[in-house]
Amino acid sequence: MNISRKEFLHLTGKGIIGLSLLPKLSNTFFAELSGRTNTTGEPMIEVKTKRLDLKHTWTLSRNSSDFKNNVFVKLEKDGIIGIGEAAPNVRYGENAELTTQRIHEATNVFKDKNLFHYMNIKDELDDQILDQSCAKAALDIALMDWVGKSCGIPLYKLWGLDPSDTPVTSFSIGIDTIDIIKQKVREAEPYPILKIKVGTDRDQEIINTVRSVTDKPIRVDANEGWKSKEVAFKNIEWLISRGVEFIEQPMPAQMLEETAWLREKVGIPIIADEAVKSSSDIPVLAKAYDGINIKLMKSGGLLEAFRMIQMAKALKMKIMLGCMIESSVAISAAAQIAPFVDYADLDGNLLISNDPFKGVEVKDGHLIYNDKPGLGVEGEF
């Protein structure tokens, strides 16, 4: 493709080059853009586990934790460093040890590769990493950070996105005692939308507690906690009376028929989270859910998240972009595609007290982008 870097930046600034052109652009084009025809040195991949401490004990309907061990990847080639992050999740049988092992096993995929051929690398990673999708996410995020840095521009600009299209992000309130929930809701005062974790036998108490402190919009996530469609129906009817905007994963992922029944009966959107990991899960969900919650840790990174966005849009489903408990590395990565989505839930780095990195910031629910290349992240690996 014959186009100068200046012309490209002009086009992306106009939003002309966007998602639809990505596959065509992905190979030689980016190499030309960065002033390279190939990458020469061998890539070096380093892996490190870092303990992220939670500000409050984090409780969902299925488990509780005070810290998370996330796995970080440093991908270095030709003097440029890309950083990635994996947030292993017990729901998907993931842990830091297995994730680290999968990353080490997959380093052969990068050997003798031109890293600008990142769609080919994605295909190979899909073949190689069959569990621990967060391991794939860490490598994909590091790869795309490297590509963005090599081109000298933030990924959202490379993809022709306008940060002002990014929806305000919600702030999550985990399950807790009445007093702590009140305290958390007060601490979340600057955030205009709250996401409340439910799926317990004391959901009404939790929501009434939140409502005793604030009347701001709330969304609700049951994390598969309601085990029958009748219970879910009754709970959602009550939640609607308390001004809830939508409900995430009311019942276990495998209860598809029951969720389809529920969707016909209730008047607020039902969003799939645990029921959807990657694009191949989406078509069957269209009959039971109004939307999907995309997370980079489930999809295995940004490139698969793109594919999911395209598929959900084609099926006229709503798109939410969520996260696990993550540092600013993975949150900044998700922010690079956030202008595409309907709902953002990118608060993982706000829930920890020792974020080792600094990148896209969340202020009062607004994502504050910077102009640094790649993910826009800085910090000690």
In the complex with Mg ion, the residue whose CB is nearer, 145 or 273, is 273
Residues whose CB is less than 8 angstroms from the CB of residue 367 and which lie 6 or more positions away in sequence, other chains included: 163, 166, 169, 335, 338, 344, 346, 360, 361
In whole angstroms, what separates CA 324 from the centre of its chain? 7
In the complex with Mg ion, the residue whose CB is nearer, 76 or 248, is 248
Minimum distance, C-beta of residue 320 to Mg ion, in the bound complex (Å): 9
Based on the shown chain and the rule CB under 5 A, indicate whether residue 248 belongs to the binding site for Mg ion. yes
* DSSP secondary structure, 285-314, as one string: HTTT-SEEEE-HHHHTSHHHHHHHHHHHHH
243, 210 contact by CB (below 8 A): no
Minimum distance, C-beta of residue 348 to Mg ion, in the bound complex (Å): 12
The contact mask relative to Mg ion for 103-142 (x = CB under 5 A, - = no) is: ----------------------------------------
Minimum distance, C-beta of residue 288 to Mg ion, in the bound complex (Å): 16
Minimum distance, C-beta of residue 197 to Mg ion, in the bound complex (Å): 8
Minimum distance, C-beta of residue 35 to Mg ion, in the bound complex (Å): 42
# chain residues binding Mg ion, by CB under 5 A: 3
> Distance (Å, rounded) from C-alpha 140 to C-alpha 296?
9
In the complex with Mg ion, the residue whose CB is nearer, 273 or 326, is 273
In the complex with Mg ion, the residue whose CB is nearer, 145 or 248, is 248
Query: Measuring CA to CA, how many Å separate 370 from each of 56, 165, 194, 280, 374?
Result: 28, 15, 25, 33, 10
Minimum distance, C-beta of residue 123 to Mg ion, in the bound complex (Å): 28
Minimum distance, C-beta of residue 175 to Mg ion, in the bound complex (Å): 13
Nearest residue by C-beta to Mg ion? Answer: 273
Minimum distance, C-beta of residue 295 to Mg ion, in the bound complex (Å): 8
Minimum distance, C-beta of residue 124 to Mg ion, in the bound complex (Å): 30
Residues whose CB is less than 8 angstroms from the CB of residue 340 and which lie 6 or more positions away in sequence, other chains included: 19, 161, 165, 309, 319, 321
Ramachandran assignment for 79, one of left (phi > 0), alpha (psi -120 to 50 degrees), beta (any other): left
Candidate segments 57-65, 113-121, 267-275, 312-320, binder of Mg ion by CB under 5 A = 267-275
> Distance (Å, rounded) from C-alpha 253 to C-alpha 259?
9
Q: Measuring CA to CA, which residue among 154, 75, 206 is closest to residue 337?
A: 154
SS3 363: strand
In the complex with Mg ion, the residue whose CB is nearer, 221 or 347, is 221
Minimum distance, C-beta of residue 5 to Mg ion, in the bound complex (Å): 40
In the complex with Mg ion, the residue whose CB is nearer, 43 or 291, is 291
331, 360 contact by CB (below 8 A): yes
The contact mask relative to Mg ion for 330-349 (x = CB under 5 A, - = no) is: --------------------
Candidate segments 70-78, 95-103, 121-129, 244-252, binder of Mg ion by CB under 5 A = 244-252
> Distance (Å, rounded) from C-alpha 326 to C-alpha 341?
19
Residues whose CB is less than 8 angstroms from the CB of residue 316 and which lie 6 or more positions away in sequence, other chains included: none
Residues 197-226 that bind Mg ion (CB under 5 A): 221
> Distance (Å, rounded) from C-alpha 126 to C-alpha 114?
18
In the complex with Mg ion, the residue whose CB is nearer, 221 or 258, is 221
Give the helix ranges, DSSP H, for the chain: 5-13, 22-25, 28-33, 96-106, 118-128, 133-151, 155-158, 178-187, 203-213, 229-241, 256-265, 282-285, 296-299, 302-314, 328-335
In the complex with Mg ion, the residue whose CB is nearer, 104 or 227, is 227
Candidate segments 113-121, 235-243, 266-274, 332-340, binder of Mg ion by CB under 5 A = 266-274
In the complex with Mg ion, the residue whose CB is nearer, 196 or 329, is 196
In the complex with Mg ion, the residue whose CB is nearer, 148 or 174, is 174
> Would you tell me which residues interact with Mg ion (CB under 5 A)?
221, 248, 273
